[in-house]
Amino acid sequence: MISFAWPWLLLLLPAPFLVYFLSPKKSVTSASLKVPVLLPGVDSKVSAAGQQNLPIWFAALIWILLVIASARPQWLGDVIEIPTQGREMMIAVDLSGSMQIEDMRLNGSQVNRLTLLKKLLGEFIERRQGDRLGLILFGDDAYMQTPMTFDRKTVQQMLDESVIGLVGQKTAIGDAMGLAVKRFVNKKESNRVLLLVTDGQNTSGKISPEQALELAIAKDVTIYTIGIGADVMMERSLFGNRKVNPSRDLDEQTLSKIAKQTGGSYFRAKDAESMSKIYQMLDQLEPVEQDQQQMRPLTSLFFWPLAIAVVLIFLQMFLMQFTNINFTKASNKSQQGGES
């Protein structure tokens, strides 16, 4: 439907007519009806034609269009539900060098940890309708890749575009936690959740995980930690294949401590199946109940009547100029005929 932002301006529509009818009328003498002829030999009828004005309805149409444009017409769209139930969830992803270890299988192929993480975490992000999501990438340092937003596609895209070693080869778990706590909006009615995914231990950063844990507890941030990496992997050597533990550097004790003291949980992702189950469990987090909000998109339409009015004004100017040119030509012809 069409509505007006300033409908009271429509009261100006009859203004020119009121001025015309209410203004005092001057007495008109017979002399005032005569058209002055400044050039000898010019017919008075030709002179009057040159001074003829455009119809009154043309000017009235321009006035109506300008008033309508000033009232700011706008198209009111259909009602759209705004997702207000949910959490503020920050996702911190480890991009250290160890994430390139190929100890995971995806669709029958051997892939590295980050590839599997992008696939399953991307599906998890897609399901987080109603949550404000943010993305932190950490290695030697922690960086805010995507601030808090309802735009899940952007968060997912930024995750897909991340590469191993983008922020260094080490692991700054404490910096990632501290940056996440700092970026949460101070809303008491919102659950503030940090999902921390790593495959190692804190080897870099300006603050330790213990210091960041104190900040998280003070700000009432719930942290869910995920340790990613297989327990057993076949490794080729000069003496043949041997079994190794590719997750020997994973600090499960610290990750469990962080999750437990903030009211969260620690999960161990050894393969695609276990990681998928972890995200399904995280999907069961209860959102904060809030009043449902609605919005109706507005599309401004004022430029349409304004553009038409401008075109009509230029058309009027062109017609007046064209009339004056014809009047001048007629005057010249009349003058030449009088001289002859």
Domain containing residue 271: CATH number: 3.40.50.410
Domain count, the chain: 2
Residue 31 belongs to a domain: no
Tens-digit pLDDT profile for the chain (340 aa)? 788 888 898 898 888 878 777 777 655 444 444 444 444 444 444 444 444 455 778 888 888 999 999 998 888 877 766 655 567 889 999 999 889 888 888 887 888 989 999 999 998 998 887 788 999 999 999 999 999 888 899 999 999 999 988 888 899 999 999 999 988 866 555 678 999 999 889 998 899 999 999 999 998 899 999 999 888 766 666 666 766 777 788 889 999 999 999 999 999 988 888 888 888 888 876 554 555 566 777 788 888 999 998 998 888 888 777 766 665 666 566 555 555 5
- Kindly state whether residues 157 and 272 are assigned to the same domain: yes
Q: How far is CA 259 from CA 221, 263, 275, 276, in A?
A: 10, 6, 17, 19
Residue 30 belongs to a domain: no
Q: Is 219 helix (H, G, I), strand (E, B) or coil?
A: coil
- Kindly state whether residues 68 and 164 are assigned to the same domain: no
Q: Is 141 helix (H, G, I), strand (E, B) or coil?
A: coil
**Residue 8: domain span:** 2-21+36-78+298-339
Residue 26 belongs to a domain: no
Residue 124 belongs to a domain: yes
Residue 264 belongs to a domain: yes
- Kindly state whether residues 68 and 95 are assigned to the same domain: no
Residue 284 has a pLDDT of 76
- Kindly state whether residues 220 and 120 are assigned to the same domain: yes
Residue 122 belongs to a domain: yes
Distance CA 180, CA 198 (A): 15
- Kindly state whether residues 11 and 138 are assigned to the same domain: no
- Kindly state whether residues 319 and 230 are assigned to the same domain: no
- Kindly state whether residues 186 and 260 are assigned to the same domain: yes
Distance CA 224, CA 198 (A): 11
Residue 37 has a pLDDT of 45
Residues 128 and 86: beta-carbon distance below 8 Å: yes
Residue 330 has a pLDDT of 60
- Kindly state whether residues 73 and 114 are assigned to the same domain: no
Q: Which of 253, 268, 289 is the last residue of a domain?
A: 289
- Kindly state whether residues 145 and 176 are assigned to the same domain: yes
Q: How many CA atoms lie within 13 A of 158 on its CB side?
A: 21
- Kindly state whether residues 69 and 179 are assigned to the same domain: no
Residue 78 has a pLDDT of 77
Residue 212 belongs to a domain: yes
- Kindly state whether residues 226 and 197 are assigned to the same domain: yes
Q: Which of 267, 289, 311 is the last residue of a domain?
A: 289
* Crossing angle of the two packed helices 272-282 and 113-126, in degrees rounded to 10: 30
Phi and psi at 76, nearest 5°, equal -95, 110
Cα angle 134, 122, 89; round to 5:
25
* pTM exceeds 0.75, yes or no: no
Q: How far is CA 159 from CA 97, 174, 179, in A?
A: 16, 20, 17
* Backbone CA torsion sign across 122, 127, 129, 134: negative
- Kindly state whether residues 132 and 271 are assigned to the same domain: yes
Q: Which of 289, 308, 330 is the last residue of a domain?
A: 289
Residue 28 belongs to a domain: no
Nearest to 94 by CA among 185, 241, 190, 209: 209
